[in-house]
Amino acid sequence: MIAVDTNILVYAHRPDSPWHAPAKDRLRELAEGGRNWAIPWHCVHEFLGTVTHRRIYSPPTAIADAVRQVELWKKSPTLHLLGETTGYWAVLSDLLVGARVTGARVHDARTAALCIHHRVAELWTADRDFSSFPGLLARNPLIPGRTN
């Protein structure tokens, strides 16, 4: 299963992103393909907060449009929305201590822990900070051959 990080969701949604076309194509392949794919719930929340933020985008995405985008992704029959379940804390705490994670990187550790906990094979992200989390292959699907 492939999981998708917030930045890929944002790029796919925002036409003003220089990565819009390839991100939109990669998400369409997942949503319309036969493979299972996933989005961590907290990445959905971060997507909503990012695209509707007036200090990040001018104009920002209207909240109704951002919600509609999430609803469209949710219609994919192969999408799994990942949340914390029994056993998640053990994975997260091991990652935090093992990788000596502090500060803002705790958010990335949360994403990595959810992916590992739910047996995600690969995380699609444009963020390079995931290389310090053992047990998770992070790849930038917008740049051929790039692992993070």
Domains held by the chain: number: 1
The reply to whether 146 falls in a domain is: no
The reply to whether 14 falls in a domain is: yes
pLDDT top residue among 67 and 128: 67
Range of the domain at 111: 2-139
* Long-range contacts of 134-141, Cβ-Cβ distance < 8 Å, separation of 24 or more: 134/98, 134/99, 136/112, 141/8, 141/22, 141/23, 141/26
Please write the tens of the pLDDT for every residue from 58-115. 999 999 999 999 999 999 999 999 999 999 999 999 999 999 999 989 999 999 999 9
The reply to whether 77 falls in a domain is: yes
Q: Give dist(CA 102, CA 85) in Å, integer.
A: 23
Residue 69: count of CB within 10 angstroms of its CB: 18
**CATH code: domain of residue 60:** 3.40.50.1010
The reply to whether 117 falls in a domain is: yes
Kindly report the pTM of this predicted structure.
Answer: 0.93
The reply to whether 33 falls in a domain is: yes
Query: Which pLDDT value is given to residue 134?
Result: 86
Please write the tens of the pLDDT for every residue from 129-144. 888 898 899 999 998 7
The reply to whether 53 falls in a domain is: yes
Partners of 4 in the β-ladder:
124
